[in-house]
Amino acid sequence: EAEVAQSPRYKITEKSQAVAFWCDPISGHATLYWYRQILGQGPELLVQFQDESVVDDSQLPKDRFSAERLKGVDSTLKIQPAELGDSAMYLCASSPNTGARGTEAFFGQGTRLTVV
């Protein structure tokens, strides 16, 4: 069964350092999402791509976060510099572009980031 792949699974970094996360969506899925989930809260959308274009990055802290999906396939989310408050689970998800509203999102296992 096809899955969304994320790496690394766990990352510990010191504050002020740079950190990057990688996501490979399910093949053929045009829509890719990056979410941040703080313990005890629901996922919060950071950025959404349709193919290689950003369709929503209104919640992305652009002074330190960046995301790209250059060829419309895999994606990288970067934080520079990392702050203590960035400690969270970073989830990548993808959806097929069926043209119908309400398509489910398929999530990866996430990257657990700890900033020390």
Partner 1 sequence: SQKIEQNSEALNIQEGKTATLTCNYTNYSPAYLQWYRQDPGRGPVFLLLIRENEKEKRKERLKVTFDTTLKQSLFHITASQPADSATYLCALYTGGFKTIFGAGTRLFVKA
Residue 36: CB minimum distance to partner 1, A: 11
Q: Which residue, 3, 1, 12, is CA-closest to 86?
A: 12
Nearest residue (CB) to partner 1, 45 versus 73: 45
How many whole angstroms separate alpha carbon 116 and alpha carbon 113? 10
How many whole angstroms separate alpha carbon 23 and alpha carbon 7? 7
User: Do 66 and 78 meet the contact criterion of CB atoms below 8 Å apart?
Assistant: yes
Does 41 help bind partner 1 (rule: CB under 8 A)? yes
Does 1 help bind partner 1 (rule: CB under 8 A)? no
Nearest residue (CB) to partner 1, 81 versus 112: 112
Q: Which residue, 21, 32, 22, 37, is CA-closest to 80?
A: 21
Q: Which of 2, 18, 55, 116 binds partner 1 (CB under 8 A)?
A: 55
Binding site for partner 1 (CB under 8 A): 4, 35, 40-45, 48, 50, 55-56, 91, 93, 101-102, 104-110, 112
